[in-house]
Chain A
């Protein structure tokens, strides 16, 4: 299959993916296009920027290893990459071990100028994410995966269904169950904090979580 793009138009994910098997630079271009999204997704699931950095490269290695299963949704490979990321995070130790020789080639650099400026922000992010995950992680794995994909990463139901290889109805029902479960967890957390707080707390005023109508 030959896929080409008009001049001055960036090649589509499909075109780059098709070319990657004969041109690794095409895979590198796909990496450049989606690494940040994968990195943020991995951070939100682990609350660690350094672990997310390692997992980002592992996600792309796993994506290539499982390239026979790739699913391109609306010409974007990102939803599928994030689904691969979910699986990679679920099996972190095995994934990291599998690719440790390649990971060992990555230098552990000292903090660069672009990191030094936002190190305080990243530390704050990690603390916020740990607080979020303290509740989030009580959901089942499927519930965590679907919430992270559809709510945090903004993947549509249709794209999530294709990326996960399930019917769109399954995505909707998993998301609905996840939200109900989350509601119960948040209510419990708020009432626990309210019982220990002298000022009392209500769900609508929880400092971390907001309620909003969807």
Chain B
């Protein structure tokens, strides 16, 4: 009989993740269950699940990508959350004025990193801040660009898992 040997040995869940997950699970059990309301989610054109497993055509890892179709503005979120919806999201929207109207923002993450660096976007703040004068350089967290339902880029502090957690496709480069 043939077996696939050489599968990696078991590894423990990282201790910080273990603690956080346990707290989350116990908290979830303490909440009263809500009646689930399913709503149809509109899907941006071009969304698909693409495997990210080297060169193999293997669809076992979930990552969804979608192109940013509206590059006239970028939404820089101050936290990895869609709280507030479209009108009262936590962060700021950036657009670049050019001589002929708004200029396309090709690098959403770069644009938002400037906003973080200049203190315009502050972690967790619901609104934008005015940059201090003289400018003070602030730390920039790791940022990831997701594609929002309206086709613009939403840039969140986080990593490659953030978009999936928010139910958004990652912005396709």
Interface residues of A, Cβ cutoff 8 Å to B: 20, 24-25, 27-28, 31-32, 35-37, 39-40, 43-51, 53-54, 56-57, 60-61, 64, 89, 92-93, 96-97, 100, 102-109, 112, 114-115, 118, 121-122, 124-125, 127-130, 132-137, 147, 151-152, 179, 182-183, 186, 208-214
B29 touches A35 (CB 8 A): no
B56 touches A61 (CB 8 A): no
B161 touches A108 (CB 8 A): yes
With A35-B13, A53-B13, A133-B56 as given contacts, are A209 and B8 in contact (CB-CB < 8 Å)? no
Q: 22 A-B residue contacts at CB 8 Å?
A: A24-B29, A31-B25, A37-B10, A40-B10, A44-B8, A51-B161, A53-B13, A53-B17, A57-B21, A64-B25, A92-B62, A105-B24, A106-B17, A107-B20, A125-B8, A128-B6, A128-B8, A137-B59, A147-B4, A179-B2, A182-B4, A209-B5
Does B135 belong to the interface (CB within 8 Å)? no
Residues of B within 8 A of A50 (CB): 159-161
Which residue from chain A places its CB closest to the CB of B141 in the assembled complex? A108
Which residue from chain A places its CB closest to the CB of B79 in the assembled complex? A104
A132 touches B21 (CB 8 A): no
A186 touches B2 (CB 8 A): yes
Query: Chain B contact residues: over half helix, strand or loop, or mixed?
Result: loop
Residues of A within 8 A of B11 (CB): 36, 39-40, 43, 49, 118, 121-122, 125
Q: Of B29, B54, B62, B81, which one neighbours A51 at CB under 8 angstroms?
A: B62
B159 touches A27 (CB 8 A): no
Does B96 belong to the interface (CB within 8 Å)? no
B53 touches A47 (CB 8 A): yes
Residues of B within 8 A of A61 (CB): 25, 28
B48-80 contacts to A (CB < 8 Å): 49, 52-54, 56, 58-62, 64, 80
Residues of A within 8 A of B1 (CB): 179, 211-214
Q: Of A25, A49, A96, A115, which one neighbours B26 at CB under 8 angstroms?
A: A25
A60 touches B25 (CB 8 A): yes
